Amino acid sequence: MNLQMRFVLLERLGEYILSNDPQWQAVIERAGQENGWFIKEFTELSSSNIANRFLKGETLKNWAASYNLENINPQLRSVGIVMAGNIPLVGFHDFLCVFICGYKARIKASSKDSALIKYLVSKMAEWNYEVNELVQFEVMLKGCDAYIATGSNNSSRYFEYYFDKYPHIIRRNKTSVAVLDGTENNEELDKLADDVHLYFGLGCRNVTKIYVPENYDFIPLLTAFKKYLHLADHHKYKNNYDYNLAIHILNNKFYMTNGSIILFENKSLFSPISQLNYEYYSRKDEAIKKLSSNQDLQCIIGHDHIAFGQAQYPAINDYADGVDTMKFLTSV
C-alpha cells in the first residue's frame, strides 16, 4: 500500500467517523458499557476531533510532507504500540503515525479502550484488505523493531526495562495547568471550564491545577464551572466528588465548591477526579518560569500560552510530551 493509498484510506475514515452510521454509533455505546467514563458526549468529541483535526486530506498531506516518507523502506519494519485508556481513542495518534509511515503496527490496546480502535481498524480493512497486513492487535508485544508505550509512572518503569534495547518512546503520567491573572473575562472562564471538565478531567491535557494571584476572586470561576454541573449526575464522578468532599470535611480543611467540583489549595500538580487544585503566586513571571521546566506538565493554559478552551483540541503536529513521533519513526 503506497502513501497515496494510505492518505485516501485515512481521509475516508475521517468521513466515516463523522457519519451517523448505526454500526459506529453502536460501537460508541458498547465502549461506554465497557468503560463507564466513556460517555457518548466525550467519545463523540474525541472521535470528531480526530476526524476534523487529523484526518482531513490537506492536513494529512501537509503534515506528511514535513517528513521524508517517500524514501522509507517499510519492509519487515514493525512498531509495537502500547496504548493507554484514560480517554477515548487516546492512542489513535500513535497508530496514525505508524500507519502513515507504512510500518506494521502491532497494537496492545488498553482493556479500558479497545472497542473503538479495533472497530475503526476493521472498517479500514473492509475498504482495503492490505490493512490486515499492516495492523495487528496482540496481547503481548515481542520482537518489534521499535516501541511506543504510554502508561502510568509505575508501568513506564516496566516499559523501560523490557524495551530498553530497542528504539522507543515511553510516556509517563502528565498533566496540565492554567495560570490566571485575574483579568480573564467570562468567555475565557467558560472555555477554561472545558479544559478542566472534558473527559471528566482524565486526560493529560486536562487542567488539574490553576495558579492565581493573591486575593483572587473565585466566584466568577465557580459560576463558569456550573456549565458542567451535569457531571454530578454521573455515578462514577459523583462517587469521587462525595469521597473527596467527605475527606476535606472530616479533616476540617477549607475548600470551595459549586456542587460538582471542589477547589482546594494544594501544592500538587495532580488532583483527584472532581477536584481542581489551586495555588497563589506573588509574581506571575516567576510562576511561569518554574512551570516551564517542570517535566510533569503537558500544557500550560493562559494568556501568552495555549488559549483557554484549546487544551483538548491538539493539532496533528502537537506531539505528546513534545517528542516528535514522526521524526522518531523516520529515523528508526
What average pLDDT does the segment 301-318 reach? 97
Helix axes 3-17, 115-127, angle to 10 degrees: 120
Euclidean distance between CA atoms 69 and 102, whole angstroms: 9
Tell me the pLDDT tens digit for each residue of 103-120.
999 999 999 999 999 999
If you write DSSP's letter for every residue of 83-124 in order, what string do you get?
---SSTTTTHHHHHHHHHHTPEEEEE--TTS-HHHHHHHHHH
DSSP single-letter state for residue 2:
-
What per-residue confidence (pLDDT) applies to 76? Answer: 55
Looking at domain 175-301, its CATH class is alpha beta
What pLDDT score does 112 carry? 97
CA distances from 248 to 103, 106, 203, 245 (A): 51, 45, 24, 5
Q: CATH 3.40.605.10 in the chain, residues?
A: 3-173
19 Ramachandran zone, left/alpha/beta (phi>0; psi -120 to 50): beta
Model confidence pLDDT, tens digit, residues 2-18: 999 999 999 999 999 99
Q: Which amino acid is at 308?
A: F
Handedness of CA 245, 246, 248, 254 (dihedral sign): positive
DSSP state of 307: P
Cell of 306: 495555549
pLDDT of residue 75: 62
Residue appearing with cell numbers 479500558: 112
Task: Kindly report the pTM of this predicted structure.
Answer: 0.94
CATH code 3.40.309.10 region(s) in the chain: 175-301
CATH superfamily, domain at 3-173? Aldehyde Dehydrogenase; Chain A, domain 1 (3.40.605.10)
| pLDDT one-digit tens code per residue, 209-235 | 999 999 999 999 999 999 999 999 999
pLDDT at 74: 61
Helix (H) or strand (E) holding 257: strand 256-257
Q: For the residues 145-165, what does the mean pLDDT come to?
A: 90
pLDDT class for 156, splitting at 50, 70, 90? confident
What was the pLDDT predicted at 311? 97
Contacts 24+ apart (CB under 8 A), 97-100: 97/325, 97/326, 97/329, 98/148, 98/329, 99/6, 99/10, 99/134, 99/135, 100/3, 100/6, 100/10, 100/60, 100/64, 100/69, 100/326
Task: Give the H or E element holding residue 275.
Answer: strand 275-281
Question: Of 103, 108, 299, whose CA–CA distance to 205 is shortest?
Answer: 299
User: In the structure, what pLDDT confidence band is assigned to residue 331 with cuts at 50, 70 and 90?
Assistant: confident
